[in-house]
A and B are shown apart, each in its own frame.
Chain A
Amino acid sequence: MAIADVAEYAHLTKDEVEQLGREFDAIRAEIEESRGAKDAAYINKVITTQRWMAAGARIGMIVSSPFPRARKPVLAASAVTLGLAKILENMEIGHNVMHGQWDWMNDPEIHSSTWEWDTGQPAEQWKHSHNYIHHQFTNVLGVDNDIGYGVLRMAREQKWTPVALGQPVYNALLAALFQWGVALHDLDLEAIRKGQKDPEEMKRQLKQIAKKGRNQILKDYVLYPALSGKEWKSTIKANATANLMRNIWSYLIIFCGHFPDGALHFTEEELEDETRAEWYLRQIFGTANIEGGPLFHVMSGNLSYQIEHHLFPDLPSNRYAEISPRVQALCEKYGIPYSSGPLHRQYGQVLRTVMKLSLPNKMTKDDRPPTGADITIEHRRKAEEERQIRRTELGGWSRSAS
């Protein structure tokens, strides 16, 4: 739908939209001005804690190997600790550092250009598919690959085919193997299926993914198990458990940020000449928060404040909690929805969408505000050539073109 068709938006005049934009600008300016030593201490503390957790877990797996009686409990504790360390590294540290949230510190290591994270996807490809495509074209059908990750049908506008019947199974597989789903994210599976992907760029990306993936596998399934001697098999199991924990958790947080019923989908046309205030609004409409305690927020990389993150993707994540009530108050003041709920409720809605959209539209009822009467993605793509030009500009495969 075009943003002007959103019922909760239609009552705002152009001036009111711009006024709301200025109120968000003021929040942004305030955080930028007060950003400093306290914030730097926070991220340094999180990184130190994460490293001790990871090191403790790896050491636990190695030193417990000659002691049969202690092995089981130490291994279990190590697996869980490693899983939590990976979650912290991917969510609160890696994701946020790569957004440039901490670049202002001028730290040689904690910088968007140097951070490489503990997961299958190369940082460079993440910065393209996530920071750019997902954050610029948030919930825009046919562009934002986060809508179903190229595997699931998550919007009624996406054409139904019998392949969708398997969605409940694909969904479970995507959750369990999420790091590899993310690793393939920037390849743009849909473009490959349609034969629109530049083969040279695909080759370059695949090589990068293979290298990163190999290093990840070597570390967790060869090197550290080898250090456990005869107990290598149980160390492999422990590392697989840690990876599974991280995969399911990050899948949950990411899916709950954009697929609960309150999050809307948009079409490409409305992006042209969008103002900052309109951009803010589209971010709010396309996003949903998850409620929880302080530890929950840290472990979710503060992506539980998904609305605040989408409004201000490059402000330090530790500040989202303090601006959240202000954002919520502004939404109330201007009569626009602020979609938020506990994890079980948000995920319940996500799962319902996965199930429902495995069937043709006529067999199910829409749970979210309708995204436009009879738009289908196929329908929307009037001219393939026009689209081709557009997508080249989008990048991903643009480097080799220039």
Chain B
Amino acid sequence: MTSSVPLTSPPFAWPHGSLDKGKVVQCALSRVCGGCGTSLGRPIAFLGTTEEVDRNAFHAPPLHEACARALRETGIAGASVVLTAGFEYVRPTADALDRRPTFVPNSIIGPA
């Protein structure tokens, strides 16, 4: 269930205003929320731009639904939230122009 843990300030995965690579990996693997840094819930939320939603690949790490809604208001990573039960963590390849890891929701429940 969605927890109502408050966002930390700055958000856990954005310690200096922009996404921190190390924190993103930590969120992905230890399954903690990029907003508040505590254990994820179910469903898992992804926040992104409409392009990210369309190609189903996000740069921002997994979030609590409540944290995603709160972060959406800040405009830090886009205006769309997608809910999913699970996701794939995709590491960058050598030929990728954008060398950030991405997240691919694999069991989408719907938008939030």
Contact = CB atoms under 8 A, between A and B. Distances in A.
Interface of A: 14, 17-18, 21, 32, 98, 100, 103-106, 108, 111-114, 123-124, 127-128, 131-132, 135-136, 273, 275-277, 279, 314, 393-395, 398-399, 402
B15 interface: yes
A113 B94 contact: no
Task: Output the residue of A100, A127, A399 with the most chain B CB within 10 A.
Answer: A100
Contact of B85 (A104, A124, A276, A393): A104
B8 A402 contact: yes
Contacts of A394: 22, 26
B39 interface: yes
A274 to B, nearest CB: 8
25 contacts: A18-B95, A21-B93, A32-B106, A98-B31, A100-B31, A100-B86, A100-B87, A103-B106, A106-B42, A112-B31, A113-B39, A113-B41, A113-B42, A124-B39, A127-B30, A127-B31, A273-B99, A275-B91, A275-B93, A276-B92, A314-B89, A393-B20, A398-B23, A398-B37, A402-B10
Contacts of A98: 31
Contacts of B90: 276
A294 B26 CA distance: 33
A340 to B, nearest CB: 25
Nearest to A393: B22
A103 B20 CA distance: 25
Contacts of A398: 23, 26, 37
Contacts of B44: 103, 113
Interface in B20-72: 20, 22-23, 25-26, 29-32, 37-44
B25 A103 contact: no
A276 B8 contact: no
B37 to A, nearest CB: 5
B42 A114 contact: yes
Contacts of B93: 18, 21, 275-277
A132 B30 contact: yes
A136 B101 CA distance: 13
B25 A132 contact: yes
Contact of B40 (A32, A113, A132, A136): A113
A21 B93 CA distance: 8
B65 to A, nearest CB: 12
Given A104-B86, A127-B39, A393-B20, A279 B109 contact: no
A131 B91 contact: no
A397 to B, nearest CB: 12
Given A103-B106, A113-B40, A132-B30, 20 more contacts: A104-B107, A105-B85, A105-B107, A106-B43, A106-B107, A108-B42, A113-B31, A113-B39, A113-B41, A113-B42, A123-B39, A128-B26, A128-B32, A136-B25, A136-B29, A276-B90, A277-B93, A395-B26, A399-B38, A402-B12
Contacts of A106: 42-43, 85-86, 107, 109
A13 to B, nearest CB: 12
A277 B91 CA distance: 9
A18 B30 contact: no
A112 B43 CA distance: 11
A161 B85 CA distance: 48
Given A100-B86, A106-B107, A127-B31, A279 B91 contact: yes
B50 to A, nearest CB: 24
Nearest to A122: B39
Contacts of B39: 113, 123-124, 127
B88 to A, nearest CB: 7
A112 B40 contact: yes
B42 A131 contact: no
A364 to B, nearest CB: 35
Given A103-B85, A104-B107, A395-B26, A275 B41 contact: no
Interface in B72-112: 85-95, 99, 106-107, 109
Task: Output the residue of A113, A123, A135 with the most chain B CB within 10 A.
Answer: A113
B15 A135 contact: no
